[in-house]
Structure formats: structure tokens, C-alpha cells
Chain A
């Protein structure tokens, strides 16, 4: 029962022929579109390694049937940086050493991007820890991850802040 779905992946519209309705979004990305940045850690929604943004929201790609996504938009780790310019979350993960083996990292980063756009953590480390708890890191890089999310959140809010008038005391740039 071949059928096709249209799916926008990292800004690119695709028409994808699916010969099998069993294909999950995760396996579609990895084995058929060869976008392998998104990782499979448990394939059961228990680890978060496969986190991507679906229509702007973080979800587990492993528990999502590709067939059900006709017309949707997906952002993966490959689509996060703006050319050679890293997303603030990516840069913060490097700076805070929020990774070791790196396998859970794409999922952590996509989850962090989702968390920041959801806007429920503020600058509270406890809320960040709670809201990042759907991403397991076996190496134990959690402290760096939490710090990276907080720092990236700060960097993003500074970027988004209106440029202060010249001579303002708070005239810090985002750089």
C-alpha cells in the first residue's frame, strides 16, 4: 500500500514515498533520508535521544509514525545551526562541556531548544533539570547540560532584547 506524505524537514519540503506504514519518524530520518544526527537510544520513548521538533514542539521521533505526519514540519539537529553559525544552545553545550560521548547530545540539544521556546523554566536550574529529565545521559554530563541550557537561555534573551539607547547602563550587546 504505497502512499506518499509531504514533510518539510529542516526547511526543505519533501514528498516522501512510503512503502510501509510501520516506518517511524526516527527510522524515516535515519534510514531513508540519511539524516543520522537524530539518534536511537531506546526506540520506546524512554531516553529522549531521538528528540526532534515537530511543528515546533519537541517530541520523541521513535514513537511517531511517519505516515501520520503528512503536511508536518520537522526540525532536526542538522537544521539547527544557521550555516556555520551555531545555535546558542549548541555553542553553550560545547562551552559548558554538556556532553561526553555525544550520542544523546542531539536529543538533548533539540530538547533544550524546545524547552527554551516553551518558556516554562526561566532561569531556575531546578526547573531546567525537571524539564530536561526526558533526556537520559548515561555518561553523566547533566551538570554541564543544565548549565548550558541556562546560559543559552540567557544568550537568547539578550539577543532578543531591544537594543538599548546609547549610553544606557544596561547597554550590553549580545556578542
Chain B
């Protein structure tokens, strides 16, 4: 780790002013940043400790039923907040399927949004990576890439966004509050992260000094009864997603009134599946309808390397998320959040699920 200046501003304005100068990074919990500094991916000149900035660690319920979550709220505090988990159960499940209990206790909401890809070539400073060093190339493209992107990638970058939390946030159109040089603004989360293009792999639309101060989720009672997040991993816990999916359904009897769908682990941003949502409106909740939706979601998917199987898995996990969501939000959070393995408290669906 290089030497750096460590400062702790006491106000948001001071923080943003400090953050504007080149080479500055914001430190909240540091669960991602400190790691990146240790492996040399990030070598900041100045670390701005925002962890004590006042007013950013609250969950506030607004009169219109929406909720505002301060950027410094810890992942575990949000997931275990009873009112929040009842209103946004898939968000809680996604949060609790990520990382470990220790990391969730430390990691913040704002940091989770801005966590960086775990692509091995991004983390390995001896490799070429357009995301880490624009213009250097992408060594993942011809490298070990079985877990890389299948949607929205270009030859500039095939990395995936690692967050679980962001997947249901994308489905719910969460609004991101940003404090910047020119004051406060808001963005839908779908507009925060950027996909790679023909020229490079800029990660987000944030400008120097921009500081995420909070998130806002609009009232979503309509989806609370049918909300699931499902995640495939290479071990039962403490692993990033191979692929994941969130499905939120608003039901009218047997018919789907509305749905919100997103995929994780497939692209450089949480992947909102709008075409699939449209395909479900007014449909009966059947396996066939779910299959059609998944097909619509993955129409543009293509392997970026040795990872064609992820397209199959993404399709199937979306069907699974829809199936589980239709079955209903479990009354008790499963022992293994987001796991496809059933839980004594909320058994997996029986019947015509299996296509093996």
C-alpha cells in the first residue's frame, strides 16, 4: 500500500471539496477499498474518511411510503431492519446472500453500489485491464473467463458487477442520491453504472468528488408478497454469484399484473430485464410464461469466452426466481438466503419444475 494523506472532513461539503482533487478516494468501511489498496489496484494520494459524516447512517420512512437509506447504513443493519425487510424482502435476501456476516456488518450501502469487479485480471496489476488502466487492453478476453459477462460486454471489457444488493435495487428502480461539486442530484440506479463500449470501460457516471449520500426506494407494497432473489455460487456461502436473479411479481389472482426482473453476475452492471417484464404482463403465472420471459431476457446474451453455460444458467435461474416469487415470499428468511437449496422453513416448489 502506498503512503497517502488521511483526512476526516466533518461536513459533507468539506468532503466533496476534498474529494474533487485528483487522486482522492472516499473511505467508508473500506471492505473493498482497503483490499484494492493492498493489491495495488488503487493507489490513492488522499483517503477521505467519510465514515463519521453526520446524517448518513439512517433509514428514514417518508410520508409517501418510500424509504430513504443513508449511504453509511451497514448492509446487515438494512437487511435485518424489520420494517425494511418486510417491505423489500428480496433486497434483504440479496444483502444476506452476499459476502460474510463480518463483511455485511461493516460494508455500507454506498460502498456496495460502488464496489468494483472481482475479475481476476482487474485485480492482477500485471495484467492488461481497460477498467483499471484505460487503453491497456483486456487480458480476460483470451484468458480464464468462465465466470465473465454474457450480456452487455465488448472487447474492451468482459467483467461483471459483483453486487447482490444492486440486483433487486435495479429491479426496483432505486434512486441514487449524489452530492457533487454542483450540489445534490439524483439518478436511477440503472443510470449509475456504465457498460463498456467500443472505446473503454468507464464504470459509472460519477464525476470527481461525487459522493453517494443515500438511496431512495419508492413504495412497493405491490411486490412484497411475491419477491425472491436466487443466486448460484461455487460454494454454499461466502461467494460471489455465478449468476443470480431477482423476481418481483404483482399478482391479480392467477394473472401477473406487473413484474420486476433483474439478473446479477451477467454484465458490468446489474441487468434489468425489461423485455422479460413486458412479456409477463397479463400472463398467467405458468412455467411456460416464465420460460418465455427468460428467453426474452437473454435474447442478446452471448458468451464472452468459456462461459456459454452461464447463459443457460441465467435463463434457468430467472425461471426459478419467478417460480419461487410466484409461490410467495417466505414468511421467514431462509436459513441459506438466496440458495436454490430448500429450507425447512420454506420448502422448494414441487411438481412440474424439473426439466433435467
Contacts and interface: CB of A to CB of B under 8 A. Distances in A.
Interface of A: 1, 3, 20-22, 24, 43-45, 48, 51, 54, 57-60, 62-65, 67-68, 70, 111, 114-115, 118, 120, 124, 126-127, 129-135
Nearest to B51: A68
B215 to A, nearest CB: 22
A59 B77 CA distance: 13
A59 B336 contact: no
B4 interface: yes
B67 interface: no
A21 B6 contact: yes
Given A22-B1, A67-B49, A130-B335, A59 B30 contact: no
B288 interface: no
B124 to A, nearest CB: 14
A65 B33 CA distance: 10
A122 B5 CA distance: 44
B27 A57 contact: no
Contact of B335 (A64, A114, A124, A134): A124
Nearest to A110: B102
Contacts of A58: 101-102, 105
Contacts of A64: 29-30, 34, 106
Given A59-B106, A133-B100, A133-B236, A20 B31 contact: no
B98 to A, nearest CB: 11
B105 A126 contact: no
Contacts of A21: 3-6, 47
A45 B103 contact: yes
Nearest to A120: B80
A130 B100 CA distance: 9
Given A21-B6, A63-B31, A134 B99 contact: yes
Contacts of A129: 237
Interface string B1-44: 10111101000000000000000000101110011001100000
B179 interface: no
Contact of B34 (A24, A118, A120, A133): A24
Contacts, number: 102
B201 to A, nearest CB: 23
Contact of B38 (A1, A44, A131): A44
B5 A44 contact: no
Residue among B39, B103, B236 with the most chain A CB within 10 A? B103
Given A43-B38, A45-B100, A130-B335, 11 more contacts: A1-B6, A54-B106, A57-B105, A59-B105, A59-B106, A67-B49, A68-B30, A111-B102, A126-B344, A130-B237, A134-B238
Given A51-B102, A68-B51, A133 B1 contact: no
A111 B101 contact: yes
B291 interface: no
Contact of B343 (A1, A20, A22, A126): A126
B35 A44 contact: yes
A62 B335 CA distance: 27
B49 A68 contact: yes
28 contacts: A20-B3, A22-B3, A24-B34, A45-B102, A45-B103, A48-B102, A57-B106, A59-B102, A59-B105, A60-B106, A63-B30, A63-B34, A64-B34, A65-B6, A65-B30, A65-B34, A65-B47, A68-B8, A68-B51, A114-B105, A115-B101, A120-B80, A126-B344, A130-B236, A132-B101, A133-B100, A133-B236, A134-B103
